[in-house]
């Protein structure tokens, strides 16, 4: 693992690291904020999964999360959204290929050789973090924005016991019924829609739910509201009687101004779960 940068921030360290990934068969880069408490012992870990077109840098520099994580004594990891580099398949559209991994394991060409983002986020990167940093992997939460919100919700519901809490900012909630989803799931996973179900938060919520608290914020002025299908997830939460808060925030759009506005509340939400005995 190569250290690309380590900067002092809010008493802790914001690092950027690169490593050769066996899951994606290319080099992967991630950011990790470690609060000051990590010098004395293992700290809880909060995952932040970013959205379409983003790298590890977007949330790391725009979300304002480090201040609130430092206040709560929580680490935050910022993975990339896809494999990258020479020889990695790509597409001219912004919503497929590099920057648009959708947190799935691709089975179709030309994506399958590198686009194994589920295995990377669920298995390989957690093992790397546990081996190299002072983290309490028994206390993990997960959040994300847009495509990353989709990833956070589906990972949380598919990996019971892994995460104590899950939240999302303007998540893609029902991708099997959205143009932000059907295109990508079809390209990565093929035409058999039964294989798409585990990657649809609304369907997973209806079928299995999440054994813990859920927090979701979406703006009423979100310019991609029709693609997010928030109402499908709201209906599934109600049907399942899931412990959850789904809030429509008046006047907010899909940008990082929205994310940064509510980041403190999301970090505090996770801290309550991560420090609960």
**Residues forming the active site:** 146, 222, 254
79, 121 Cβ separation under 8 angstroms: yes
222, 25 Cβ separation under 8 angstroms: no
143, 270 Cβ separation under 8 angstroms: yes
Going edge to edge, which strands form the sheet with 165-169? Answer: 2-9, 12-21, 26-34, 75-79, 43-49, 135-144, 165-169, 214-219, 244-249
124, 105 Cβ separation under 8 angstroms: no
Burial of 200 by CB count in 10 Å (0-12 exposed, 13-18 middle, 19+ buried)?
Answer: buried
What token pair was written down for 238? 């109600």
153, 71 Cβ separation under 8 angstroms: no
Write down the number of H helices and E strands in the chain.
Answer: 10, 9
């Amino acid at each position: 693992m190569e250290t690309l940068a380590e900067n002092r921030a809010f008493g802790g360290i914001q690092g950027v690291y690169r490593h050769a990934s066996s899951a994606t068969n290319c080099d992967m880069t991630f950011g990790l904020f470690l609060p000051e408490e990590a010098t004395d012992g293992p700290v809880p870990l909060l995952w932040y999964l970013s959205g379409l077109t983003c790298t590890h840098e977007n949330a790391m520099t725009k979300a304002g999360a480090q201040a609130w994580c430092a206040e709560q004594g929580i680490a935050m990891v910022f993975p990339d959204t896809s494999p990258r580099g020479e020889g990695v398949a790509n597409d001219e559209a912004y919503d497929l290929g590099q920057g648009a991994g959708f947190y799935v394991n691709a089975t179709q060409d030309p994506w399958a050789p590198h686009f194994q983002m589920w295995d990377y986020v669920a298995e390989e990167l957690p093992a790397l973090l546990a081996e190299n940093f002072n983290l309490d992997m028994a206390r993990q939460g997960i959040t994300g924005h847009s495509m990353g919100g989709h990833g956070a919700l589906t990972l949380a519901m598919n990996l019971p016991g892994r995460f104590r809490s899950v939240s999302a900012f303007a998540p893609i909630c029902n991708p099997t019924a959205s143009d932000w989803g059907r295109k990508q799931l079809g390209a990565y996973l093929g035409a058999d829609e039964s294989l798409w179900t585990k990657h649809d938060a609304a369907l997973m919520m209806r079928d299995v739910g999440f054994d813990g608290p859920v927090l979701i914020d979406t703006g009423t002025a979100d310019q991609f509201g029709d693609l997010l299908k928030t109402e499908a997830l709201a209906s599934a939460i109600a049907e399942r009687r899931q412990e959850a808060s789904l809030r429509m925030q008046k006047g907010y759009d899909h940008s990082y101004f929205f994310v940064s506005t509510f980041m403190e509340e999301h970090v505090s939400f996770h801290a309550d779960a991560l420090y609960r005995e």
